[in-house]
Amino acid sequence: MRIDKLLSNLGIGTRSEIKKMIKQKQIKINGELVKNGKDQLDPDAAQVTINDQPVAIQLTKYLMLNKPQNVITATEDASQRTVLDLISATDSVKGLAPVGRLDKDTTGLLLLTNDGQLAHRLLAPQKHVAKTYQATIDGIVTDDTVARFKTGIQLKDGTRCKPATLKIISTSEKDNQSKVEITITEGKYHQIKRMFAACGMHVATLNRIAMGPLKLDQALEPGQYRPLSESEVQSLSKLK
């Protein structure tokens, strides 16, 4: 593959920007300065550095992000910070996008990839991929609430949700709050907030901890990310 095309696909810059970097002697392949962006290289074998910093050559990228609050799940926005703004230039690739969305104030597991087929499998309604969240609820969640979630909550607008699993972690009568874990298999707009609103409760905090077989790495601080491991990618690829 041409060097300038590869680096462009990796999101390093436009071809004109890469040409300028080559002219400024910033790019090396296998320790040798690149003199012409049209030169060919083997993406599977070449070692690429920019300003002596290694560039990961992975045309298909899978990143696990621990999304913080006050960041929107979008690829670009004129006024607000997006999840892609958290990804460094050296880790970005062309077509990198979040799989699904988390609300601006919702935190936790977010997968970013340029693998469109995988994204489709994870998001397709007929696939019923489970998503698990931990939440703080203003209100006391009871066994009756758990039973309502199990049979399928009817939202205030009349929409009926698919059955969901609700587990009570703890309750505090003093604070009028509950800590819970919820697993849903669909992704309606503001679904969990609307489900609890239908029960007369308010979601104070919401944090996603799993999506299908992928679990949030507890070592990741909010705003941090890492590449998926080989086994994690394989577990997602096995989803039918």
Closest CA to 166 of 155, 156, 151: 151
- Grouping H, G, I as helix, E, B as strand and the rest as coil, residue 27 is strand
- Grouping H, G, I as helix, E, B as strand and the rest as coil, residue 108 is strand
Is position 91 annotated as part of the catalytic site?
no
Kindly state the helix (H) or strand (E) to which residue 192 belongs, with its residue range.
helix 191-198
The residue from 42, 44, 77, 103 that is catalytic is 103
For residues 141 and 171, the answer to whether their CB atoms sit within 8 Å is: yes
Q: Which residues are catalytic?
A: 103
